[in-house]
Amino acid sequence: MTEIEEKAVDSPLPWVREHIEQYLASDGADVDFPMRENLILLYTRGRKTGQIRRVAVVHYPDGEDLVLIASKGGAPEHPIWYLNLRDDPRVWVRQKSEFFPAVASDLEGEEYQTMWKRVTDWNPGFQEYQDNTERRLPLVRLRRVEEHD
């Protein structure tokens, strides 16, 4: 386990904590979640506390990059992990047995539209989430880096 992982504070939501525990115990192979193959652990720095925060999130693969959908189930507000990475785009990712630093960036314009179609073709549930909220669901690209500055 890395220093970042040891410092991490898990989501306060019991079902998310359970997914994190299952993920860590099995390198993501045995998580009680329907899309477990696309589940990762995302580590962000809390924008208010500065603490490392850990949450389980679904990603859509895009070549070497990972694309996250900040849906929060179609809630009217953005997920906390998204607000954190918007303030500090330097994040860390646990994908199966691999742990690596990455940099987050919002998709915009044509890139957003193209990726949104790919994501909703892959999982139409995200379009249902979008239909149930007035905010535009952000798509976030995670690009692996060697290390953070």
Q: Is residue 9 within 8 Å of 52, Cβ to Cβ?
A: yes
Identify each DSSP E strand in 19-138 by its residue range. Answer: 39-45, 52-62, 65-69, 90-95, 98-106
**DSSP per residue, 17-28:** HHHHHHHHHHTT
Structural domain includes residue 70: yes
CATH number, domain at 41?
Answer: 2.30.110.10
Predicted pLDDT of residue 148: 83
Structural domain includes residue 123: yes
Residue type for 15, please?
W
Its domain, for residue 8, covers 3-144
Phi and psi at 69, nearest 5°, equal: -110, 115
Predicted pLDDT of residue 90: 97
Residue type for 55, please?
V
Per-residue pLDDT of the chain (149 residues; tens, 9 = 90+): 889 999 999 988 899 999 999 999 999 999 999 889 999 999 999 999 999 999 999 999 999 999 999 999 999 999 999 999 999 999 999 999 999 999 999 999 999 999 999 999 999 999 999 999 999 999 999 999 998 86
CA distances 118 to 35, 78, 89, 101, Å, are 16, 21, 24, 25
Structural domain includes residue 25: yes
Structural domain includes residue 102: yes
Report the predicted TM-score, pTM, of the whole model to 2 decimal places: 0.95
Predicted pLDDT of residue 39: 96
Residue type for 103, please?
V
The number of domains in the chain is 1
Structural domain includes residue 149: no
